[in-house]
Structure 1
Amino acid sequence: MAVARLSAAALTRGALTPPCRRALCCSAAPLGAEMDAAVRDVVCSGSGSLDEVGGRLDRLGVAVSPALVGRVIDSCSEGGGAGSGRRLLRFLQWCRAKDPGALGGEALDRAIGVLARVGDLTAMRIVVSDAEKDGRRMAPETFTAVVEALVDAGKEDEAVRLFRGLERQRLLPERGASAGGDGVWSSSLAMVQALCRRGHAREAKGVVWHHKGELSVEPMVSIVERSLLHGWCVHGNAKEARRVLDEMKSSGVPLGLPSFNDFLHCVCHRNLKFNPSALVSEAMDVLTEMRSCGVAPAASSFNILLSCLGRARRVKEAYRILYLMREGKAGCSPDWVSYYLVVRVLYLTGRIIRGKRLVDAMLESGVLPTAKFFHGLIGVLCGTEQVDHALDMFRLMKSCDLVDTRIYDLLIEKLCRNGRFEIGRELWDDATKSGLVLGCSEDLLDPLKTEVFRPSCPAQRLNPQSYKRLTQRKKITAVGAKKNTAVAASRKK
């Protein structure tokens, strides 16, 4: 009877013990691994409110250690879910309440970096504020990640305030005595680069002015000037960009291809918006200036101009520039992007045969395209209802061994929506034989389930004279409507 009572009591205790604690009482060897797994499960993938996280961790009876904190941070970084930032914040606060010394500087930096990457700015602010209260310094890489996360989210003023606050408290990151000691120059440089990357050149200029003593020696001067030039170009201020470029030339700062490409991009996009007729002339002036400074223009430089000419539908000028590049008169040869930009505008303006000849000439010259080249052109042809020409481009793509699932999905859906189910079925069978897993549904191949697009009126092809008359008629109608509105308003008064 006594033995039976003892067994019953033991069974009762085993039934009342939580599953996680029963699993942790097996042996000493797997105890650490199972405890880590239980903690990571509670913090990273557990359900419930944030307050319940602390309660579950308390019931586990886990001992806080730097190694455990690091493993949990790595698990939250790998998960990257929507709520992983807040759960990581709750875990850090629980660790701070249990043992403030368990959160070392390295673990805290890693946690801040994870919060910056997942985009939880509120949790990141709280952890950074706690670190400030404790008088801890962030690592330079962590500070850069925090600043970039704030600037990318449109909080550039908050990033500058954080920089000023850390500077007042003498908590800016350090890089060692050999690199500057107090770290003001490295943090200032990180601020300038983060702001200029998003076009906030005016705010970056203020940081440079306040710390011109630390940033007035090489190599910081060159980096700052190039960053400011990039910032003004991203902002679209060609006047300030020209001023910075002239200062760089006069002070002897080495100019490279990226700086001139930034300025060329700014000039071309400004002319595209305000004066498209000056696109080629001003771009050629910038290219001539590049050569005079000893910088040879590359295909990327001409691609900036070709892109803007294509957006402005200036077909003849774009074709002429590509011709100069092909003939070697531009100083560089075209790449597949150059051909793509010109062929694309040819297709968009209805010059299909001319575009196909240009693609053949590109392949004959030895320029190898990528799958993106064919994706873009086939998408343009499908969008302009040139499905037969899109199929020709698809066959050319197959001959280059660049076919993938996306292009099959695009063509099958387009063909079936146009009522060409037989060709769609052929492409489906071809993709299946090749072992490709298509993203579109097989129901597209059923005429009873797929609605076929029927144009409400036949398409009318306008010649240039008819198009010009139609445009003038629309302008006259718009002006007459404005006059009638003005007359009606005056009569009411």
Structure 2
Amino acid sequence: MHFLFPPVRRRFLTQIINTPKPKNIFHSRYSSTTTAPELEELCKVVSSSIGGLDDLESSLNRLRLSLSSLLVTEVIKHCENVAPTRRLLRFFLWSVKNFSLEDKDFNYAVRVFAAKKDHTAMEILISDLRNEGRRMESQTFSVVADMLVNLGREDEALGIFKNLEKFNCTRDSFSLTAIVNALCAKGHAKKAEGVVYHHKDKITGVEPCVYRSLLYGWSFQENVKQARRVIKEMKSAGVELDLYCYNTFLRCLCGANVKRNPSGLVPEALNVMMEMRSHRITPTSVSYNILLSSLGKTRRVKESCRILDLMKKTSCAPDWITYYLVARVLYLTGRFGKGNMIVDEMIEQGLTPDRRFYYDLIGVLCGVERVNFAVELFEKMKRSSFGGYGPVYDVLIPKLCREGNFEKGRELWDEAVASGVSISFSSDVLDPSITEVFKPTRKVEEFNLKECKVPKNSVNMKQKILKGKKGKKIVSNKKKYVSK
């Protein structure tokens, strides 16, 4: 089984379980109410950073308070983001020894450790849950399966699903959907299809959710052939295709074409959009943005501008992400004037972009050594009154100073200080004697001098060679004349 422990961990568990229980300290009956002092006192002990795990248990043994199922749950809830998971685990195991906890308490603790991605703690509690014959809730299995797949332990998640009856958990449509979703979220579509194939009787009523997960799983792998097959199966099964399904397939198709067939991006994507319209599904800006993002990755500028024009003609209003994708590819390919026009057009349309719009484009302009355009874009950002200018000052001021524009750098520094914006570097960057100004790595003057010297030397060499050849010819002619 997947939850058999190695010898070292078994010894650790034995040490925890065999710790002597305190005598005559806690009430054995369930108490439905907890007092604030008891909760505060327990939380203080559990979240303390002083001492080890054995010291924690000794401190808990010295407490005299009424322990209850509700109190244990409340302590874990209050300490899950404060105390280390090992201290939480020791507290829970200590509570199990001193009070008869319910199945719901075990399930809650398992979900907490799964959310914190502590595989060892979760494994210990699941093993105890199974050995004690407790019931695992379907919600708990869903969280556990998702956590295990995220950690790359998909086979372990499948092992729990196959043995759910040993955890007193029903293998129903909910648990089937949970394992399929978890597998497909990380691209394990083939394993997910195997689960669906062996449990066809349990997908009744959840077919749309299962098929969408499978479609996403194959799209995650950018396997266009298998994704198209899932779409055909959905049509055959009478499952209605919606915008999400087509956008998922479109993302799969574009991702595959970026790597294998960039020239087929636009025609194949437009064919999918035509198919969408035939099913009375209108492509939205999200659909076009998927295509524009892929065009930007392949630096296809003309196609990006044409898609933007096509959106306007087909009455599909571009959003700020659309303008961002087009402006970005224009800046990256050196079309700075056209990129500025796109940004101005977005502002004229009254669209309010996220701060990331300006952050990323200013970063792109600084990356391609066009700080003057980045400063102009920053001015547009300030006119929009977005706030959050600190990261922009952090990028622009050092960049301007390294290019020798200390005057503009000082101006932005004073502006930031006057506005109360915190800057992450010191004012030394404004000192020309400290900041090293960027210098071209290619020595132009010396190179030109060398270019001037080379032709002279080459001409002299050619003259010497010609003289030598003529002298040889004269000698050879004399020899011929004498021989005659």
Q: Give the TM-score band, short-chain normalised.
A: 0.7 to 0.9
Which residue of 351, 356, 360 corresponds with 1:372? 356
Code of the residue aligned with 2:103 in structure 1: it is: G
- Does the 8 A contact of 1:381 with 1:387 survive in 2? yes
Tell me the equivalent position of 2:42.
39
Deviates more, 1:273-282 or 1:45-54: 45-54
Aligned to 2:439: 454
Moved more, 249-258 or 38-47: 38-47
What number of residue pairs does the alignment pair up? 410
Select which of 321, 338, 349 maps to 1:354: 338
Q: Is the 8 A contact 2:80 2:88 kept in 1?
A: no
Aligned to 1:432: 417
Letter in 2 for 1:444: V
**Partners in 1 of 2:433 and 2:54 — Cα distance?**
54
- Report what 1:473 is aligned to: none
Who is 1:257 aligned against?
243
Closer, same or farther: CA 51–165 of 1 in aligned 2, 3 Å: farther
Q: Distance between the aligned counterparts of 1:145 and 1:362, measured in 2?
A: 42
Partners of 2:443 and 2:127 lie apart in 1 by 66
Q: Secondary structure at the match of 1:46?
A: coil
Aligned-residue offset at 1:262: 0.6
Quick one: percent identity of the two aligned structures? 47
State whether structure 2 residue 129 is matched by structure 1 residue 90. no
Q: Give unpaired runs (5+ residues) of structure 2.
A: 1-33, 445-484
Q: Distance in 2 between matches of 1:335 and 1:283?
A: 19
Q: Which residue in the other structure is 1:248 paired with?
A: 234
* Equivalent AA in structure 1 for residue 406 of structure 2: F
1:186 Cα deviation from its structure 2 partner: 0.8
Distance 1:458 1:283, change over 3 A: farther
The answer to whether the aligner puts 1:393 opposite 2:377 as a matched pair is yes
Counterpart residue number, 1:300: 286
* CA deviation profile, 1:168-224 (whole Å, cap 9, x unmatched): x2622xxxxxxxxx4521111111111111111111111111211111x22x11111
Q: Which structure ranks higher in relative contact order (CA pairs < 8 Å, sequence separation ≥ 6)? A: 2
SS at match of 2:217: helix
Would the aligned equivalents of 2:320 and 2:353 in 1 still touch at CA under 8 Å?
yes
1:169-318 equivalences under 5 Å are 169=166, 171-172=168-169, 182=170, 184-215=172-203, 217-218=204-205, 220-318=206-304
Matches of 2:196 and 2:339, distance apart in 1 = 49
CA contact (8 A) 2:45 2:56 kept: yes
Cα deviations by residue, 1:357-387 (Å, 9 ceiling, x for unpaired): 1111222233332211111110100111100
Q: Find the residue that maps to 2:200 and give its secondary structure.
A: coil
Q: Secondary structure at the match of 1:368?
A: coil
Rounded to whole Å, the distance in 2 between the matches of 1:184 and 1:39 is 39
The one-letter code of the counterpart of 1:131 is: L
3-state SS of 2:201 partner: coil
Q: Distance in 1 between matches of 2:215 and 2:70?
A: 45
Alpha-carbon separation, structure 2, partners of 1:289 and 1:255:
11
Say if 2:216 and 2:248, in contact at 8 Å, map to a contact too: yes
Distance in 2, Cα, partners of 1:349 & 1:212: 52
Contact kept, 8 Å, 2:393 with 2:423, in 1: the verdict is yes
How many angstroms apart in 1 are the aligned matches of 2:142 and 2:443? 58
How big is the alpha-carbon RMSD for the aligned residues of Structure 1 and Structure 2? 2.0
Output the CA distance in 2 between the equivalents of 1:66 and 1:186. Answer: 28
- Whether the 8 Å CA contact 2:43–2:75 is kept in 1: the answer is yes
Whole-Å separation in 1 of the counterparts to 2:424 and 2:137 = 45
8 Å CA contact retained: 1:44, 1:75: no
Partners in 2 of 1:158 and 1:73 — Cα distance?
Answer: 26
Q: 1:71 aligns with which of 71, 74, 77?
A: 74
Query: Aligned in 2, Cα 1:455/1:50: closer, same or farther, shift over 3 Å?
Result: farther
Separation of aligned partners in 2, 1:170 and 1:388: 65
- SS state at 1:366 partner: coil
Alignment CA distance shift 1:263-1:224 (3 Å): same
Contact 1:147 1:194 in 2 (8 A): yes
